[in-house]
Amino acid sequence: MWAKAAVIGLLLMSSSAHAGYITYSQWASFEPGRQSIYIAGAFDLLVSYAPDAAAQKRGQHFLRCVMDADMKNGQLSDNVLAFARATPEVQKYSPMAALIRYLNKLCGEPG
């Protein structure tokens, strides 16, 4: 589910991102379906790309947490958006930064 959404998200986003980088404000301005696809792709990258043991542990921690919460793509996206609205300092970074900060709050820091 996540991998398919990630591929679709990357294809959709590549047409709207000239430099390949999406700011938080750009992501927040997307319609909800595109927001969801983008966050699903970011989440998939976060939990599957592990250049070292710490990143692998973090990815597994977040994956387990989101799966245990039975959170769907749209819910994750909505939750990240709500978190960022309540935590304005994350809005100056990327949607990935908002996602990570949200997951740290939801799941706790990986041990």
Q: Which residues contact 46 (CB under 8 A, 6 or more apart)?
A: 58, 59, 62, 96, 99, 100, 103
Q: By the 8 A CB rule, do 30 and 101 touch?
A: no
Q: For 43-98, what is each residue's pLDDT tens digit? A: 999 999 989 999 999 999 999 999 999 999 999 999 999 999 999 999 999 999 99
Distance in angstroms (rounded) separating the CA atoms of residues 89 and 7 = 29
Which burial class, exposed, middle or buried, applies to 17 when counting CB atoms under 10 A from its CB (0-12, 13-18, 19+)?
Answer: middle
- Of 4 and 86, the structure prediction assigns the larger pLDDT to 86
- Which pLDDT does position 19 carry in this prediction? 53
